[in-house]
Amino acid sequence: MRIDVLTLFVEMFESPLSYSILKRAQQQNIVKIVLSNIRDFATDSYHKVDDTPYGGGPGMVMMCQPVFDCLEHVRSQDAEPGKVVLLCPQGKPFDQQTAMELSREKRLILIAGRYEGFDERIREGLNAETVSIGDYVLSGGELPAMVVIDAVVRLLEGALGDEQSAQDESFSDGLLEYPHYTRPEDFRGTKVPPILLSGNHAKIAEWRMQQRLERTQRQRPDLWAKYLERKNVKK
């Protein structure tokens, strides 16, 4: 997969992309991540990329021209046109399902904005999908773009070791993970649940599933309702 990121802050991406799974996935050519600075495509001598909103109001709006020119430039570097994803709080909520869908694309082009938002003609003109990582407002689309990259790349074949990929499927079934424990057996008086020390794998699996059901029901009624709905449809 190739992922292009169009941003005003290329440097913000460098550290998160150079550790652990994301680093290895790039080294192994599972993903190629190309960062482009939208400001390089500004045409005036101030390198202006934003302007005041028509109709008045606070803040600045990202202008069409530098974003369109930057996108056209990166598009010309690869025959695959790619799916354009615009990060903004008004977008479709990002979840594991969306991550899986995006991981099937050959190329993603993520656009991270700043200021009050994008000129609406950017979304329309680029036929972009808008994605939000949650109902809160961040200072820009960079952190959300990194979240999307991380969630997508770990789903690409070969990005994770075997052991981890098997575990990963658990969230995809819509339930939260079971609780994990490691040594020591007793930490300051709090003990590991005895079932985990029993060596009885069938009982452990049963306990873990029970924990997943209870946790999901207690902590995420929204996921729980969807889980029940899916189960009833299957019956």
Residues lying near ligand ADE in the complex (CB under 6 A) are found at 87-89, 132-134, 136-138, 141, 144
Q: Which is nearer to ligand ADE, 149 or 175 (CB)?
A: 149
Q: How many CA atoms lie within 13 A of 67 on its CB side?
A: 27
Amino acid at 12: M
Q: Could you tell me whether strands 190-191 and 186-187 are parallel, antiparallel, or unpaired per DSSP bridges?
A: antiparallel
φ, ψ of residue 188 in degrees (nearest 5): 50, 40
Distance CA 35, CA 142 (A): 11
CB–CB of 57/30 below 8 Å? Answer: no
Closer to ligand ADE by Cβ: residue 1 or 110: 110
Strand 107-112 to 83-93 pairing: parallel
Nearest distance from C-beta of residue 91 to ligand ADE, angstroms: 6
* CA pair distance 13, 129, nearest whole angstrom: 21
- Find the shortest distance in angstroms from Cβ 4 to ligand ADE: 17
Least spacing, CB of residue 222 vs ligand ADE, in Å: 18
Nearer to ligand ADE, 33 or 88 (CB): 88
* Residues in CB range of 143: below 8 A, 6 or more apart: 133
Return the number of the residue (22 or 86) whose C-beta is nearest ligand ADE: 86
Tokens of 29: 């050519």
Q: How far is the CB of 113 from ligand ADE (least distance, A)?
A: 7
- Cite the DSSP H helix spans in 118-200: 120-125, 142-153, 162-172
For the CB of residue 52, give the shortest distance to ligand ADE in the complex, in Å: 20
The answer to whether the CB of 227 falls within 8 A of the CB of 175 is: yes
The nearer residue to ligand ADE, 115 or 178, going by C-beta atoms, is 115
Least distance from ligand ADE to the Cβ atom of residue 16, Å:
16
CB closer to ligand ADE out of 89 and 125: 89
